[in-house]
A and B are shown apart, each in its own frame.
Chain A
Amino acid sequence: MTTEAVEPDFDVIVVGAGVAGCVTAYRLAEAGRSVVLIERGEAPGSKNLSGGVLYSRVMEEVFPDFLTQAPVERRITRNYVQFLNGTSSVGIDYQDSRLSDPVNAVTVLRARLDAWLGERCEEAGVFLMPGVRVDEVLTEDGKVVGVRAGDDELRAHVVVAADGVNSFLARAAGLRPQEPTNHLALGVKAVVSLPAATIEERFHCAGDEGVAYAVVGDCTLGIGGGGFLYTNRDSISVGVVLRLDDLVAKGVPSSEVFEHFLTHPFVAPLLAGGEVSEYASHLVAEGGLDMVREITTDGMVVVGDAAGLTLNTGLTVRGMDLATASGIAAATGIEAALAAGDTSKAGLAGYRTALTASFAGQDMQTYAKAPAFLERERMYEQYGSLLADIMYGAFNHDLRPRRHLRDVAKRAFKRSPVRLRDLFSDGLAGVRAL
């Protein structure tokens, strides 16, 4: 057992009251540990913008009443995948009542969700400490023993870094290098307020049902990334995610890309009459498994975005469910380490074991090749045009004799810069990566 020079103030210090931090803190408090949850914002969620689509089943493992008690916006029962071109758009509209029962995914606004999670933590006995910015981790003999904020120091057996994609705690503890720019993306998003009735009418959804769009192509002006749009109760979250390396290389201001997407003739009507109530940009981790490195060190673990736990599979972008899973796994590992009286890296190894065994760890492995696949340029321009040309050939009756769809496709393909070997290569890589 490691000797503690000073009696710690808490068993565990969690830095960052987002999804991962709150779940870790809640679980440990439930297990009877003394936990302080430090948050930079004036309240959990106050620094958070917009929200996202949360694949909610894992959250129900932590909070069985999550769907009825938490401030969820809408159940996503309809998914669109849309290839957007300058003057055309081809989409797949997937609706399925099986997505509704049991509930698969919900939209959330983080300002509300994080506040709710913070309250659950306080009920469980977590000491919530908002309005405090942690300046550094305290180390003694290479072991993390606490944190410093301003003139004050707090000590604990274990520090949990849940401080988001730019985790400086993880970096300070030597767990993370500066990320290469192809591991990061810039998300630019807005929340557009619209009456619930308008949303239900416009998106053909009843009651608390909702819609999520994944958009690729012209929405990002050819920059690697994509657009998204999903319905909240009485607002729409809409935005673009732009791979940082490509954005820098192409030299286009992100605001211009965002504006282009919002005013695109296939997007603008969905937002018409709405009022922008939030607008912001934020870095998003996109490195996949490559970005998840060491997640434990002596006296410290890293969870959620801070651990690089996000997945973009092209069709779904996931972060909050992985954050939840990492919080559960971290709490398991920390509880075991505290019980054994060994909070060294070896003592905390149960976290990685639990994470690897969870769906989150396995999915990170399954989609390990997704980021490289999604870096293929053709994804963002050429396939959308090709699809639209084929559809145009099929639907455009210009009084010339019709051709078989096969010939239409062949001609469109010939005109397209996409070569047959590209199609094979991308198809094969896609099947392998996704």
Chain B
Amino acid sequence: MKIAVAYKWAPNPQDAAVGADGTVDWGRAKASVSEYDPVAAELGRRLADATGAELVGISVGGPDVASPMARKSALSRGFDRAVVVADPALEGAGPTLTATVLAEVVKHVGDVDLVLTGDSSQDVGAQLVPAILAGALGWPALANVTAISGGAGDLVVERLQDSGSQVLHASGPVVLAAATDAVVPRVPGMKDILAAGKRPVEVLSLADVTPAAPVAATAVVATARPALAARKQHVIDGSDPVAAAAELVAALRADNVL
């Protein structure tokens, strides 16, 4: 069995600055393996160890995705090897382009039985890539996955649904997006990072893969901040604590909070 884990080398929102006018400045943000992707890597590593499968990290992005930092950071999560498309044309690529190129990488790797992804990316958070990737491959996609067992063509998948869970059986290749807390990912140690530096990484450019040309393009023309919730702005005079407490309780009762 061959398992691919798609990860994103994405700017870290911790370092992003939000201006007074709501604009986000990513200028100081350093890239890292996107927050939820290590969960997918850990799920994949455990399944690979249980089934003797090969675990391949796959990623697409700008030239940085092939940098030594990015390679070590990704491979230290437990991949046996990695295949990345590093191309200036993929800098800041949106979900559709990212997913269609990822689909080509999956085909390039060949004989992949399962593609795992994180819940969403730390910089965009659209939660679209797994679905578009599955669509491009013609495979089913399941999100919010918490557990996987079985083997190629015979996978048992547990996913969250509403407040409960559901167990599904997949009889062929499938794209699974891990729930954010499906497993606790390992923190790479020195030996993991050392080993990561020695594992093979295949670096492709966009010319090496030929994703389907998009039929339509979208572009952001405007953004707006979420509207602030309307508040009652009911201020209680606190000079007499007993009266204030009584008024607060009455107000909460009137609104059916208590």
Bound complex: CA of A127 vs CA of B194, how far in Å?
A: 8
Instruction: List B contacts of A36 (CB < 8 A).
Output: 194
Q: Quote the shortest CB–CB distance from B37 to chain A (angstroms).
A: 15
**A43 to chain B: which residues have CB within 8 Å?**
30, 69
* Neighbouring B residues of A151 by C-beta, 8 Å: 189
Interface stretch among A129-137, A312-320, A404-412?
A129-137
On chain B, the number of residues with a Cβ less than 8 Å from chain A's Cβ atoms is 19
Q: In whole angstroms, what is the CA distance A115 to B28 when docked?
A: 12
Complex interface residues of chain B between 4 and 39 (CB less than 8 A to chain A): 12, 17, 20, 28, 30, 32
Structural contact, A132 and B190, CB atoms closer than 8 A: yes
Is the beta-carbon distance between A122 and B190 smaller than 8 angstroms? no
Which residues of chain B come closer than 8 Å to A129, judged between CB atoms? 72, 190, 193-194
Whether B190 and A111, one on each chain, are in contact in the complex, defined by CB atoms closer than 8 angstroms, is no
Taking the closest CB of chain B, its distance from the CB of A322, in whole angstroms, is: 27
Q: Is the CB of A152 within 8 A of B189?
A: yes
> Given A111-B28, A149-B189, A151-B189: A9 and B73 within 8 A (CB)?
no
Q: Is the CB of A9 within 8 A of B194?
A: yes
Contacts of B191 in A (CB 8 A): 152
B125 within 8 A of A: no
Contact check, A150 vs B30: say whether CB atoms are below 8 A apart. no
| Pair B189/A150 contact, Cβ less than 8 Å | yes
Residue A307 interfacial (CB < 8 Å): no
0/1 string, A379-422, CB within 8 A of B gives 1: 00000000000000000000000000000000000000000000
A173 at interface by CB-CB < 8 Å: no
Closest residue of A by beta carbon distance from B196: A129
B189 contact set on A, CB distance < 8 A: 132, 149-152
> A275: which B residues are within 8 A, CB to CB?
20
Q: Is residue A181 within 8 Å, beta carbon to beta carbon, of the partner chain?
A: no
Whole-angstrom CA separation of A46 from B31 in the bound complex: 11
Question: In the assembled complex, which residues on chain A have CB atoms less than 8 Å from the CB atom of B187?
Answer: 150
Q: How far is the CA of A117 from the CA of B73 in the complex (A)?
A: 18
In the bound complex, CA of A275 to CA of B23 (Å): 14
Choose one: A131, A149, A150; the contact of B73 (CB below 8 Å): A131
CB-nearest residue of chain A to B76: A131
B188 CB within 8 Å of chain A: yes
A151-176 near B? 1/0 per residue, CB < 8 Å? 11110000000000000000000000
| Docked complex Cα distance between A141 and B182 (Å) | 46
With beta carbons under 8 angstroms apart, the residue of A9, A42, A150, A152 that contacts B32 is A42
Q: Chain B, 169-200, contact with A by CB distance < 8 Å: what is the 0/1 string?
A: 00000000000000000011111111001000
Q: Which residues of A contact B72 (CB under 8 A)?
A: 128-129
Q: Which residues of B contact A105 (CB under 8 A)?
A: none
Expressed in whole angstroms, the Cα–Cα distance for A76 and B180 within the complex equals: 49
A38 within 8 A of B: yes
A111-132: which have CB < 8 Å to B? 111, 115, 122, 127-132
Q: How large is the interface on A (under 10, 10 to 19, 20 to 34, 35 or more residues)?
A: 20 to 34
Q: Does chain B have a CB within 8 A of A277? A: yes
Query: Nearest Cβ in chain B — how far from A388, in angstroms?
Result: 38
Chain B residue nearest to A111 (CB atoms) is B28
The CA-CA distance from A149 to B76 in the complex, in Å, is: 15
| Chain A positions within 8 Å of B28 at CB level | 111, 277
Determine if A277 and B17 form an interchain contact, defined as CB atoms under 8 angstroms apart: yes
Q: Min CB distance, B18 to chain A, in Å?
A: 11
Q: How far is the CB of A73 from chain B (nearest CB, A)?
A: 14
Among B17, B30, B68, B194, the residue within 8 A (CB) of A122 is B68
In the complex, A153→B194 CA distance in Å?
11
Most buried by A among B12, B28, B69: B69
Please indicate the chain A residues that have their CB under 8 angstroms from the CB of B17 in the complex: 277
B residues less than 8 Å from A277 (CB atoms): 17, 28
Per-residue CB proximity of A1-16 to B under 8 Å, as 1/0? 0000000010000000
The answer to whether A128 and B68 touch across the interface, beta carbons within 8 angstroms, is: yes
Which residue on chain B has the smallest CB distance to residue A46?
Answer: B30
Question: Which B residues lie within 8 Å of A149 (CB)?
Answer: 189-190
A429 to B197, CA, bound (A): 56
Assembled-state Cα–Cα distance A132/B197 (Å)? 15
Q: In the assembled complex, which residues on chain A have CB atoms less than 8 Å from the CB atom of B190?
A: 38, 129, 132, 149-150, 152-154
Taking CB atoms, residues of chain B closer than 8 Å to A38 are 190
Bound form: Cα–Cα A132–B12 in Å: 18
CB A195 to nearest CB in B, in angstroms, measures: 13
Task: Give A246-277 as 1s and 0s: 1 = Cβ < 8 Å from B's Cβ atoms.
Answer: 00000000000000000000000000000101
Shortest beta-carbon distance from B20 to chain A in Å: 8
Q: CA separation between A205 and B56, bound complex, in Å?
A: 53
A interface footprint on B109-136 (CB within 8 Å = 1, 0 otherwise) = 0000000000000000000000000000
Give the residue name and chain of the B residue nearest to A149 (CB).
B190
Residues of B within 8 A of A42 (CB): 12, 30, 32
Within the complex, the shortest CB–CB distance from A168 to chain B, in Å, comes to: 17
Shortest Cβ distance from residue B224 to the other chain A in the assembled complex, whole angstroms:
23
Q: Closest Cβ of chain B: how far from A16's Cβ, in Å?
A: 15
Instruction: Please name the residue on chain B nearest to A129 by beta carbon.
Output: B193
Inter-chain contact A130/B30, CB cutoff 8 Å: no
A154 to B68, CA, bound (A): 20
Q: Which residue of A lies closest to B193 (CB)?
A: A129
CA distance A111 to B190 in the complex (A): 23
CB pair B197–A130 under 8 Å, yes or no, is: no
Contacts of A115 in B (CB 8 A): 30
A42-97 contacts to B, CB under 8 A, are: 42-43, 46
B residues in contact (CB < 8 Å) with A: 12, 17, 20, 28, 30, 32, 68-69, 72-73, 187-194, 197
Query: Given A132-B189, A150-B190, list of 8 further CB < 8 A pairs?
Result: A122-B69, A128-B68, A129-B193, A131-B73, A131-B193, A152-B190, A152-B191, A154-B194
Instruction: Give me the interface of A with B, judged by CB distance under 8 Å.
Output: 9, 36, 38, 42-43, 46, 111, 115, 122, 127-132, 149-154, 275, 277
A-B contact pairs, 7 of them (CB 8 A): A42-B12, A122-B68, A127-B197, A130-B69, A130-B73, A131-B73, A277-B28
9 tightest CB-CB pairs across the interface, nearest first?
A152-B190, A152-B189, A152-B191, A150-B189, A122-B68, A129-B193, A149-B190, A43-B30, A154-B190
